[in-house]
Amino acid sequence: MSTSVNNTSGEIRDEIKDLETQELTINMGPQHPSTHGVLRVEIVSDGEIIKGAYPEIGYLHRCFEKHTENREYLQVIPFVDRMDYIAAMNMELGFCLALEKLLQVEIPERAQGIRVLVSELNRIASHLLALGTYSLDIGGFTPFLYAFRDREKILRIFEEICGARLLYNYIRPGGVARDLSKSVQEKIADFCKYFVPQLDEINDLLSGNLIFVNRTANIGVISPDMAVAYGLSGPNLRGSGVNWDLRKVHPYSGYEKYDFDVCLGLAEKGVVGDCWNRYFVRIKEMYQSIRIIEQALKALPEGASMGAVSKSIKPIGEIYMQTECPRGTLGYHIVADGTKRPHRVKAKSPCFIAVSTIDEMCAGMMLADVVAYLGSLDIVLGEVDR
């Protein structure tokens, strides 16, 4: 083939006139770095435009739900850690709250305070990872390093609290496994003081950055109606402007005592429900989490960190309970038949349903925007596949 398309007179040559276009099927993942795990998206593209995108999941499927049926209740907690390994405290909290509701036990005030502290710290760590990797997907390397530097500080605190950095097994039915020492409390207070200016810096660096805004604003717009129809939750739902935060609407663990705002996508850039707004909801939520942590630290009462709950628990009944996790509302459906082992544990994963939107949302997008869209959903495949 010759090198130029047009000849000197500006006409298209005959042999090029007859060239046909063809659809191309591309497999994105499961090893693609921007899929945040082992997700495969089968993309049918027409040039740079996507005709269809079909997500394939299950590469990380461990059938956690089957495992739980052969384990005692306390042995299930390490399994729920391994669903969303980025925010394991929040996974444990939901499971323990559901169990406690079945057992109808009182949780000591101090344990509730500690639970709020660790789950909000974990929310910050999770959002930092989300925005760090998101900027990496878009092409900004520096915010990733900033985010991981600060996330490391939270992981150090967790290491001191319970000995583990990612998979904690810390929150137990009845309270928490270990009390919070004075030195850890000081470290958390120091972290709050340290973190707010750092977050300002990340925010200044990334949120208004023209390249970042051009890549994310007005891309992948999910309307509020669509978000509700898909059952999205967490920052993905609030980014579409739906004011629904379980910590506010159905408070648990004493969240009603703390003063914080629900963060919504308010179209400071782009339109409500686009990738930029979902990202910015996470930035705003981190400021609110710091507010909650500061209040919880101040109000942390003295007392026991573990309630009177038997080591071998045998609840009976059926319950569905949801809590607000960094990635959305995580629900546990527990069917307990009065024996030591659960009859059935079903986890409702917010990421599972976020992945299911790819099919409809990505059709008609540019190829490069799929990465921007996937990153803005903030999925963790451990939770999608369970």
Partner 1 sequence: MAKLRTTFAPTPLAAVKTVVGEAGACPPLADIKSKAEAAGFKLELIEAAPSDPFLKVKADDLVGFLKWIRDDLNLEFNFLQVISAVDFIDKAATEDSPTVRARMELLYVLYSFPLCAYLNVKVELPRENPQVNTVAHLFRAANWYERECYDMMGIKFNGHPHLERILLPSDWVGHPLRKDYVYPEEYNGMKVPL
- Least distance (Å) between residue 54 CB and partner 1: 10
41 is a site residue for partner 1 (CB under 8 A): no
Structure tokens given for 322: 């949801």
CB 138 within 8 A of CB 375: yes
Q: Which of 54/194 has CB closer to partner 1?
A: 54
- Number of amino acids touching partner 1 (CB under 8 A): 70
Of these, 24, 49, 145, 308, which contacts partner 1 (CB under 8 A)?
49
- 126 alpha carbon, distance to own chain's centre: 7
- How many Å apart are CA 134 and CA 374, to the nearest integer? 9
Paired residues of 335 in beta bridges: 318, 344
Of these, 78, 140, 224, 254, which contacts partner 1 (CB under 8 A)?
224
- How many Å apart are CA 151 and CA 121, to the nearest integer? 9
Angle (nearest 5°) at CA 231 between 246 and 123: 45
Instruction: Report the site for partner 1 in 238-257 (rule: CB under 8 A).
Output: 240-244, 249-250
Q: Which of 199/246 has CB closer to partner 1?
A: 246
Q: Which of 95/352 has CB closer to partner 1?
A: 352
Paired residues of 25 in beta bridges: 44
Nearest Cα neighbor of 40 from 65, 59, 24 is 59
Instruction: Report the site for partner 1 in 344-373 (rule: CB under 8 A).
Output: 344, 346, 348, 352-353, 356, 360, 363-366
- Least distance (Å) between residue 262 CB and partner 1: 9
The residue assigned the tokens 């190829």 is 367
- Least distance (Å) between residue 344 CB and partner 1: 5
Looking at residue 50, the DSSP 8-state letter turns out to be E
Instruction: Report the site for partner 1 in 263-322 (rule: CB under 8 A).
Output: 264-267, 271-274, 314-320, 322
- How many Å apart are CA 370 and CA 360, to the nearest integer? 12
Nearest Cα neighbor of 293 from 172, 190, 204, 163 is 190
C-alpha torsion 337→61→126→109, nearest 10:
10
- Least distance (Å) between residue 270 CB and partner 1: 9
- How many Å apart are CA 263 and CA 272, to the nearest integer? 13
- Least distance (Å) between residue 46 CB and partner 1: 4
- Least distance (Å) between residue 11 CB and partner 1: 23
Binding site for partner 1 (CB under 8 A): 21, 45-47, 49-51, 57-58, 61, 63, 65-66, 101-104, 218, 221, 223-224, 226, 228-231, 240-244, 249-250, 264-267, 271-274, 314-320, 322, 329, 331, 333, 335, 337-339, 343-344, 346, 348, 352-353, 356, 360, 363-366, 385-386
